[in-house]
Amino acid sequence: MASTRTTVAPPSDRVRLIVASSVMLSFISFWRAAAIVLNDLGSSAFYAGGIAEQAIGKSAPWFILGIMLFSFAVRAVYVESCSMFTRGGVYRVVKEALGGTFAKLSVSALMFDYILTGPISGVSAGQYIVGLMNELVHVLNDYHWLPPAMMPNGVPYQFNVDHTSAVFAAIVTTYYWWQNVKGIEESSDKALRVMQITTVMVVIMLTWGVYSVLAQGAHLPPLPTPANLKFSDDALGFLKHMPNLLPSLGMFGILMAFGHSILAMSGEESLAQVNREIEHPKLKNLKRAAIVIAIYSLIFTGGATLLASMLIPDGPRTLIYRDNLIAGLAMYLSGPNTIKIVFRVFVVLVGFLILSGAINTSMIGSTGVLQRVAEDGVLTDWFRKPHHKFGSPSRIVNLVFILQMFTIVATRGNVITLGEAYAFGVIWSFTFNALAMLVLRWKYKGERGWKVPPNIRIGKTEIPIGLICVFLVLLSTAITNLFTKSVATVSGIVFAGTFFIIFTVSERQNKRKHALTARQMKDHFQLEHQDTISRESVDIKPGGVMVTMRDPANPFALKWALAHHASDDSDIVVLSVRIMAAGGPEFLSPEEQNFSEHEQMLFTKAISVAESFGKTVSLLVVPAGDIFAALAQSANNLEVDSIVSGVSTKMTSEAQAYHLGQAWEALPQPKRQFNFHVIEPNGQSKVFYIGPHAPNLSPDDVQLVHRLWLNMRRDPTVSDLHHSDIITFALTRLAGQYAREKVEILRDIRNYRAANLPMDSGPPPQQLTGGRPAADSHDAAPPRTR
């Protein structure tokens, strides 16, 4: 007879851990997205033309223009890949279509592209600066202003262009390495400002250049026919040992020349990197950004190269200005020398901004690619471990820095050698991406947001004519480059092969290690994956406290929260933000979320600290592209009253509050106000109010309002006046005046603050990063120390 007793399973001793699947992001406009890509793509305008002419002769500008027109088609492939479910750049697209082996090959080639972007941009920036310095030495000598120390043997001293440029590139690379180790992120605001300044230079240069062409009667460069191509020995590569083949190159020669100009199209991968952050409607704004990028790069890179070939005589162009073509263009415009030198200084300044920015972009991009590979379990957790002080992926940054410095030293600042090698990664990353998209056309039959045109349907079969043509052009160019770009072929294959071997060996070791970590996580934690995070899904009451935790060795923020919120009515959520690399996906399945040993230690420590206080805490992991966006969105979704965070090692408490307030401003309605507590290691705290709140009025301010109220209500027509009416009226009038007299109002406010701040008070708590006053939504209360 069956038993009727109810058997109750013993309670599990595992702690519940919620893992979010949706990545929390901050969003940018398509203009800002275009500016970020152009900061990388636009840098090639400063060196691509000179490198191409050294390789293929005076017809190079036509091939640069052809490359820029072809980039419309390549960019269309990236737009289609970004519009699909498969997002995140070459690595993820190739892995989805062709599997892990091809993905590791493609990312190895892409890493070669990114690693060389930094050195070639840094050396090119150095070429422009050193060229200007040497030019100014001659000018000073002409006016007899040069000191005797700069006149060895009676001849003006000239800096060695290559070696000095290499030193400059090494210094700038070291600076950006330290910035990335500290985790200081480049903002889209900065990228937009750089492109605004660059646009001013481009407009002046093109307008002045067209006028100079008309005034001087310049001629177009030779047409891009096989007869007009003059390949250098380096450009012929392995074919230079076959002299009988050269006269019959024909169309193969055209393809060779095309391949030697391909580096003008570098930076396209950045479009896939920023796609995730583009605001909605995403596809529409992505296409807008792609069009802006295409037109701008065509006009800038193509137009500048063509004008330089028309205005700079052959001798100076190939001997003096081959590595700083736009600077040479400035010196051969029509007009007085003084104005041309001033414009050249402006060109060098813009070149420094955009080229040095490209160094940082390359470091961020290569770090992001390696982070995505590490997140996928291809690199060991050793690389994922954050810096003990700054929380950045410093070990990956260090690896990228070492490779870039090695490249600078090995090439000794020779931009031609760098350009030759650089093209390997550019063309092969494009080719793998196009092949993957072609495979996905047959592998994935669902609807797409957009497709590369044209497409022909025969019965039930759709033939992607446009995509096939783009792939065949890229593949033909890549294969041609293998035989004609010996430097690129040897260095690229060695580099990519080394990385591929490292990835393969590391992945095999990682699989065993991750399997062990996964079992340990399941033994100690009850993992629950939620698409979105809400108060109900985490099972907490409104008005709780959210504590951020990054370092298991320093849980002082959690200890402070537990000590100051001892009541059982106040739920505490311990939040760990898993920063996803740039260009990552917007949604992560449970299989894609691998826990590292660092995260396991983090949550184990959180539970241990909570138990020592006799409290229970909820554990939460959220993937995010930006830490402050994650905090603001999580706090709003969980309906907490307070966020508690440790003091940052790379920014002040006021700066943390400012950035959190900016993230709060970007949230959609409805959104809650909350307090932001920043805890120092000694237990002291500063509290900031995030969201609209009543300002802290001084006793003098209250007295002033009261006196105005007494005086005004003597008039019988406003005898029912309230104190709040006076404040509302004053604010409304100030808003109207500010709209009409912005400059005057700001000047008066600055003067008022300067006159009323105590001399020894230091900067006011409201004064945040960059000297900008905090908006009311993230104002600092006079920080309360506890």
Among 180, 161, 586, 128, residue whose Cα is nearest residue 362? 180
* pLDDT for the residue numbered 58: 93
* pLDDT for the residue numbered 398: 93
* Alpha carbon distance, N-terminus to C-terminus of the chain: 68
Q: Report d(CA 127, CA 319) in Å as an integer.
A: 13
Q: Report d(CA 648, CA 652) in Å as an integer.
A: 7
DSSP type of residue 221:
P
* pLDDT for the residue numbered 99: 80
Summarised one tens digit per residue, pLDDT across range 544-586 is 999 999 888 888 899 999 988 766 678 999 999 988 876 666 7
**Helix, strand, coil fractions of the chain, as percent rounded to 5:** 65, 10, 30
Number of H helices, E strands in the chain: 28, 10
What residues contact 415, with CB distance under 8 A and at least 6 apart?
47, 50, 51, 120, 123, 124, 127, 162, 165, 323
Q: Report d(CA 581, CA 623) in Å as an integer.
A: 10
Q: Report the DSSP pairing between strands 685-690 and 674-679.
A: antiparallel
What is the C-alpha radius of gyration for the chain, rounded to an integer number of angstroms?
A: 30
Q: Report d(CA 593, CA 622) in Å as an integer.
A: 11
Q: Report d(CA 282, CA 289) in Å as an integer.
A: 10
Q: Report d(CA 402, CA 228) in Å as an integer.
A: 41
Contact 628, 663 (CB under 8 A): yes
Residue 139, class by beta-carbon neighbours within 10 Å (0-12 exposed, 13-18 middle, 19+ buried)?
middle
What residues contact 378, with CB distance under 8 A and at least 6 apart?
100, 104, 503, 506, 507, 510
Q: Report d(CA 736, CA 716) in Å as an integer.
A: 27
Q: Report d(CA 233, CA 617) in Å as an integer.
A: 69
Contact 258, 85 (CB under 8 A): no
Which three-class secondary structure state does DSSP give residue 432? helix
* pLDDT for the residue numbered 89: 58
CA dihedral 760, 765, 769, 770 (to 10 degrees): -50
In this structure, the chain runs to a length of 786
Measure the CA angle with vertex 175, ends 171 and 178; round to 5°. Answer: 140
Q: Report the DSSP pairing between strands 618-624 and 456-458.
A: unpaired
* pLDDT for the residue numbered 62: 96
Containing H/E element for 548? strand 545-548
* pLDDT for the residue numbered 775: 38
Please list the ranges in the chain whose pLDDT falls under 50.
1-11, 86, 247, 759-786
Q: What sections of 688-770 are H helices per DSSP?
A: 699-712, 723-740, 742-756
Q: Report d(CA 414, CA 162) in Å as an integer.
A: 6
Query: Crossing angle for the helix pair 723-740 and 742-756, nearest 10 degrees?
Result: 120
- CA dihedral over 656, 658, 661, 663, signed as positive or negative: negative
Containing H/E element for 529? strand 525-530
Q: Report d(CA 602, CA 550) in Å as an integer.
A: 7
Q: Report d(CA 170, CA 153) in Å as an integer.
A: 31
Summarised one tens digit per residue, pLDDT across range 292-325 is 999 999 999 999 999 999 999 999 998 888 888 9
